[in-house]
Structure 1
Amino acid sequence: MTYTPWTKGLALAMTLTLAATAQAATAADTRLQAVMKKLDGGDPITLATVGGSITTGYAAQPPRERGWAALLAKSLGPRVQLVNAGVSGTDSAAAVQRLQAQVLDASPDLVVVEFSVNDQWLDPAVRGSSYEAILRKLLSAKKQPAVVVLGLTHQGNQPRDATDLQLKLAAHYGLTALDFGAWMQARVAAGTDRWAALYDEPVHPNGTGHQRIAQALGETLRAAATAAATTTPLPAPLHGRAHEFTRLLMNDTLKPYQNSGFTRGGEVHPEWTGQQPGWIATADDAEARFLVWGSEVAVFHAESEHYRNLEARVDDGPWVTLQSHVPERKGYLGWHYTVVGRDLEPTAHLLQVRVKRDAWAGSGRPASLLAIMSAGILPPSLRPSAFEQQPPSNRMGLIPAADPRLRWVGRIGPGPLPSTKLLVWSGSELHARFTGRELTLEFSSTHWGTSHFTVEIDGRALPLAVPGKGMSVWRLREPLADGEHTLRLLKRTEATMAEVAFHGLRLSEGDRLLDPPPARPLKLEFYGDSITAGACNGDVDADQYDDLYYHDGTRAYGALTAAKLGADYVGIAVSGIGVTATFNELLMPQVWNRYAPRLDAAVAPPDPRAPDVVLVNLGQNDHGFPGTKGQRIAADFASRYLAFVRELRARYPQARLVLLAGGMTAWKDEPAIPRALQQAVATLHGEGDARVWTYTFQAFAHAHPRIDVHAQMADELTRFLQTEVLK
């Protein structure tokens, strides 16, 4: 290839400057030196390039042969195999999602990362974390490649926000970096080159521009090969680690759990290998809902002059516009990563997407989404906490759990110490009101399991993990605003997995506890198994019991139904339990009325405020457990089920009883289950007890239902209770 010649003096000055820059940037870059040594020895290497349209070779003719990536590979010698993972219109946030399949799976020796131009348009709150995640994933791969950061800019070396951020990250990780804008600007200042020669438009370099990038990269690699190098460990991140832990929903995994008006279709990205159509709609009222995970949820969607806008929200968060109608993109299809929810609890969420009612309503234009990209599916050690653990206190100033100004909901037992409360069943709930800026909570546990709680302060939900086997005190890290505050403490973890005693709370000096909020006008009490307990309802992949953070009884269908009806919720549920068979040691008739699901737990007296509706969802394990042994459900299941319902009626003579089936598939697989429910209702009706109903859920899952299925079950049950039971 031919380059503009330098004068002898200028060449010497530029070489010295470049060498000094490379030496500073590669102080720990032993990987790159090893790659260059392999090249010098005639060994083959794999070079991978990852970036946007400039990496694909856009504006060079032909792009894949005359783009900077191909030119660089050619200049390094015939034994270089190039893997060009450039995808036009994508930024580092999308690249994190495709890095494994398109780069790391090729086991590259050397990776050049180029996203400065496209990251300039990426949400500034995202681009530091997403770009850093690419570097960290490369540097922590099983086969760790040498990594070079390529910092490009628009014509004229502006803007530089994304470039400067990426160069700072390169220095932080001791990586070789090329600041091409500075490299080129020095040539322009010396009168040996012109920006206009490299660009026919402001963004994409032309063929000459690609030649210059390849030239500068070649010089950078050669300078780094002789620089001093030492090995240093991977440093702490500057922008967090959320984008190291991602999930891509695309192709067959991009399935809405509810859909009205969206169909498979829409344009796909021609450069993204393996991509299939997403979802497209033309109707004004089209809406789809998806199960997602993570602390950041984004929609990857097409944008051009021909599309109309979508809008989306996570859970009950604010609606965010997905700007798909971009008039400036004439004849060119673009792609955008739009964050819909950020700073979320890093667990399962529900994403709602709909066509936006705007100036294009009724136009018939399509709205399209291609993928959903999540970040921040964090391992336990990285999950943030709004609480910090304090040393055990002397109990001075403690407002005890038995204080009458604290309102408890659920089956709450007496704790092991005076004035403490035993929290066992998932959904157990504390309500309080207080003044002040500080809050401290005190617990103890003799059980092995970690109890996961949601601490809701003024409506803001904060997760708290209380370890088993010991006492722990937790103080809110950030002070609250002055004035009055509301508190809800909800136990998420199911009963057999964790028990904890709540000792009480502390406020800042001079502040006080106020009278509690009133009880809700309606009270629902549920009896069930793992479905009602919310087991596995937030799990990302297969059902698991190693990390119970994802199992949340407060987001199971019963708790959701109570919330929809403005009701207090009591949940008595145990995974694996049944009426005639169990995966554990005890049956529901043995523990249903106790403070904890064990025989040495005391029987709880009837609550002074009886439930208005008692709901039973059992039978899954009566079928499932014998099924594991090749046996059928017990022949006396119907009679023993009826006997249990009679016990409930005796305890709650005035309550409405609703006998439920579903959430999983036992009622479909074993006809004896729905038949037993129908017989129980018919028997009680025949005895003059008209306040008994049965309902079978249409929503179900073959594994434990996730929160999407629970949401559908809650919608079904709410409608049924409103129209049939509570009317």
Structure 2
Amino acid sequence: MNLLKGLPLALSLLLPLAGQATTDARLQTVMQKVQAGEPVTLATVGGSITTGYAAQPPRERGWAAQLASALGPGVRLVNAGVSGTDSAAGVQRLQSQVLDAAPDLVIVEFGVNDQWLDPAVRGSSYEAILRKLLTAPKPPAVVVLGLTQQGNQPRDAVDLQLRLAAHYGVTALDFGRWMQARVDAGQERWADLHDEPVHPNALGHQRIAKALTQLLSDAARGPVAAPAPLPAPLFGRAHEFTQLLMGDTLAPYAQHGFARGGEVHPEWPDQKPGWVTRADDAEAHFLVHGAEIAVFHAENEQFRNLEARVDDGPWVTLRGQVPERRGYLGWHYTVVGRDIEPTAHLLHVRVKRDEWQGSGRPASLLAVMSAGVYPATERRSDFIPRALPGPLVAPDDAHLRWSGRIGTNTRGKLLAWSGSELRARFTGRQLGLSFETAHWGTSHFTVEIDGRRHWLAAPGQSATDWQLREPLTDGEHTLRLVKRTEASMAETTFLGLRLAPGGRLLAPPPARRMKLAFYGDSITAGACNGDLGTDQYDDLYFHDGTRAYGALTAERLGADYVGIAVSGIGITATWGDLLMPQVWNRVAPRLDAPVAPADPQEPDVVLLNLGQNDHGFPASKGQHIAPDFAPRYLAFVRQLRGRYPHAKLVLLAGGMTAWKDEPAIPRALAQAVATLRGEGDARVWTYTFQAFAYAHPRIDVHAQMADELTRFLQTEVLK
């Protein structure tokens, strides 16, 4: 029977539409189809209350099933309730479990579970669900169902959700208000609807279905508001752009002590096991992307705790040991990294050393959920294009410390090679940086202030001033500005920096004790190392030379870094126009660029990693590596020795597969070392990386390469 027909208007008016004077046109259209008996798909998405928990049987007597039955036989129900999930997990499954079903009407219920969700997350994640529904190719009508626990408290999450419903002009049911009105009128008791504080019982589900039925009846008639343009978001757009790693895609690049397994959410379709361990020293490391990284994991009285961090951030406890979850599983979305740069990161997970050490209890993780995997149009830099008032501190000021191969021109310091670095100390609450494009392209920089990484892009245009968006605290600050875009893609002139009124430069940071210089190709340049998916050169934001293996190795050894690397370049073959012997000693990879003057401080170690393109370019044409590769390689090593007579030389192979595919490459390295040592030059070594990738290595492979190289330098070269 269709319960919408014949419902008294006076009864329906007990339910306000979240203060709306008109009905959403999409919702009225859907309800008119329902009344006409036309086929309609109703989708419900939420947590355990949406699954029908505490109604028996849940999927048949829960509020969603009762509502679908009340609407009539033409309504097909897609129940995407998953117990223990909040809107942060809900947005991750929205496409596959809701939108792929092409629903006409979607009811969103996360009021109870979002109350336990991190308050810093719940606004963005719930808003993302509404925005993704309203911007779908076939936007459904949307109803926000605001449920609370017994007694209509607490209301923080529900009030936020109702605010978002009003902002987007969608119909909402404040069930707590609806029920409280009936309680105040002496018609109901909250205690009758719940056998425990959280989940409504069978009668509670019946009342939720009844209130929704009344709401939809009102929507079928009355004045209509046409769909308005989508308003600006209240909480940002991070959770509209997500990445979900689970099952086969949740694959650590390194781990020990973990095994496939652990509890799989029984209500999440097509979920595969995550990772589980009983070892005290287990750890796992994952390549992830985004501005917010969270771990989705099980919890009850039987589990142990894990802890995790993103990159070198603080360790965050993943609370698996929850005594109040006695006899049943709970699920939790724990944020590990928040407000980080929206790029590639490394997630590190380990068993927490706590009172459960040695207990043999399991610890597990099911999925990694990321938000803020932004497209280029949505990325927001921490700098805005605006000049601070006041004088410009010249780039050759004695208080500024430079490292890398830095050029000069009539305007300032030429920053071509990735890894070119400025360090300084200053006072004041503001910082401004001034750039001018020297040659083509956008240069991306990492601007590290007091240890926190910021991102800045100096576009290919005339001089531009940039101001840090948010003010700093009072007191002293440290600055580290590093160019991360490789030289062949963009060159920039640094014109100087500006400080807040009253701010001043302090004595420069102390010099580093050691210096490493790396010569190489795209591997050394860090090309594609932050790409999500296939290699690409259209968006160089994700190509970060500061996270390539050479820069990482220098950082781990506390050394200055010089990175002379060009994508596609080789000694005998190139994908571009130039060979390394033509540009290796210049301030930029151009034939018209001047030769760099002798280094004021000769590098302690010079490392060479070439050969990938000497093999790869001819191989792409069905040809073999140049027959004279070995003597030309040796000749270039002699050029390096001529410029750096006292440095230790390390000839590298690897990061990609050329050395595996072409035996001439490792053979040439071995011959070069043998020749030089035979001539009395004992300060030369060779090393082949075990870590590699078939495409350009990502930051996980670079991290492993840096681990290898750091150990080799410490044990063999620097001892």
TM-score by length of 1: 0.96
Partners in 1 of 2:399 and 2:183 — Cα distance?
75
Read off the aligned partner of 2:584 and give its amino acid letter.
W
Matches of 1:188 and 1:392 in 2, distance apart? 60
Give the Å deviation of 1:379: 2.3
* Offset of residue 380 of structure 1: 2.6
Give the aligned partner of residue 378 of structure 1: 374
Distance 1:408 1:208, change over 3 A: same
From 599, 603, 626, give the equivalent of 1:607: 599
> Retained in 2: the 8 A contact 1:151–1:178?
yes
Whether 1:499 aligns to 2:491 is yes
Residues 1:406 and 2:400 aligned together: yes
Q: How many Å apart are 1:582 and its aligned residue?
A: 0.8
User: Any conservation in 2 of the 1:26–1:174 contact (CA below 8 Å)?
Assistant: no
**Distance in 2 between the 1:55 and 1:44 partners?**
22
The equivalent of 1:144 in structure 2 is 139
Residues 2 and 70 in structure 2, CA contact (< 8 A), matched pair in contact too:
no
Superposed displacement of residue 13, structure 1: 5.0
Q: Give the structure 2 partner of residue 223 of structure 1.
A: 218
Deviation sequence 1:3-29 (CA, Å, 0-9, x none): 9xxxx9xx76543342xx228437462
CA, structure 1 residues 222+448, in 2 after alignment: closer, same or farther (shift >3 Å)? farther
1:44-103 deviation digits (Å, cap 9, x = unpaired):
111111011111111111111111111111111111111110101111111111111111
- Indicate whether 1:132 and 2:127 are aligned: yes
1:643 counterpart (628, 632, 635): 635
Aligned with 2:231 (options 235, 239, 248) = 235
Q: Deviations over 1:254-312 (max 9, x none)?
A: 01111010000111011100101100000111111111111111110110111111111
Over the aligned positions, Cα root-mean-square deviation in angstroms equals: 1.8
State whether structure 2 residue 146 is matched by structure 1 residue 154: no
Check conservation: 2:291, 2:342, Cα contact below 8 A: yes
- How far apart are residue 249 of structure 1 and its match? 0.6
Superposition pairs for residues 223-622 of structure 1, below 5 Å? 223-228=218-223, 229-390=225-386, 397-417=391-411, 420-622=412-614
- Greater shift, 675-684 or 402-411, is seen at 402-411
User: Is 1:27–1:174's contact at 8 Å kept on the other side of the alignment?
Assistant: no
The reply to whether residue 15 of structure 1 matches residue 15 of structure 2 is no
Q: Which residue of 2 aligns with 1:115?
A: 110
Per-residue CA shift, 1:613-650, capped at 9, x if unaligned? 00000111111111111111111111111111110011
Amino acid at match of 1:256: P
Answer yes or no: is the 8 Å Cα contact 1:526–1:532 preserved in 2: yes
Which stretch of the first structure deviates more once superposed, 272-281 or 631-640?
631-640
Q: Is the 8 A contact 1:23 1:223 kept in 2?
A: no
In percent, how many aligned pairs have the same letter?
75
| Letter of the 2:695 counterpart | A
Q: CA, structure 1 residues 585+316, in 2 after alignment: closer, same or farther (shift >3 Å)? A: same
Does the 8 A contact of 2:43 with 2:77 survive in 1?
yes
Report the 3-state secondary structure (helix = DSSP H, G, I; strand = E; otherwise coil) of the residue aligned with 2:530.
coil
Q: Greater shift after overlay, 173-182 or 431-440?
A: 431-440
Amino acid aligned to 2:408? P
Aligned position for 2:199? 204
SS at match of 1:130: helix
CA drift of 1:509 comes to: 3.4
Aligned: 1:164 with 2:156: no
Query: Which whole-Å CA distance do the structure 2 matches of 1:302 and 1:391 have between them?
Result: 50
After alignment, is 420-429 or 627-636 more displaced? 627-636
The answer for the alignment partner of 1:706 in structure 2 is 698
Code of the residue aligned with 2:354 in structure 1: it is D
Secondary structure in structure 1 of the residue aligned to 2:439: coil
Does the 8 A contact of 1:28 with 1:231 survive in 2?
Answer: no
Correspondence for 2:684 among 683, 686, 692:
692
Could you tell me which runs of 5 or more consecutive residues in structure 1 were left unpaired when the two chains were aligned. none
User: Matched residue of 1:293: which SS?
Assistant: strand
Q: Which residue of 1 aligns with 2:61?
A: 66
* Cα 1:2–1:133 shift into 2, 3 Å: closer
Instruction: Give the match for residue 76 of structure 1.
Output: 71
Partner Cα distance (1:23, 1:355) in 2 = 46
Residue 617 (structure 2) aligns with: 625
Residue 552 of structure 1, CA deviation: 0.5
Residues in 2 aligned to 1:127 and 1:392: alpha-carbon distance in whole angstroms: 36
Given the superposition, is the C-alpha separation of residues 355 and 224 from structure 1 closer, same or farther in structure 2, using an over 3 Å criterion? Answer: same
Q: Secondary structure at the match of 2:131?
A: helix
Query: Hey, what's the Cα distance between the residues in 1 that align with 2:678 and 2:262?
Result: 58
Indicate the residue corresponding to 1:85 in structure 2.
Answer: 80
Count of aligned positions:
716
Post-superposition Cα deviations, 1:370-389, rounded to whole Å, max 9, x if no partner, equal 00111111223332332221
In 2, Cα distance between equivalents of 1:469 and 1:389? 12
Match of 1:97 in 2: 92
Gaps (5+ residues) in structure 2? none
CA contact (8 A) 1:28 1:232 kept: no
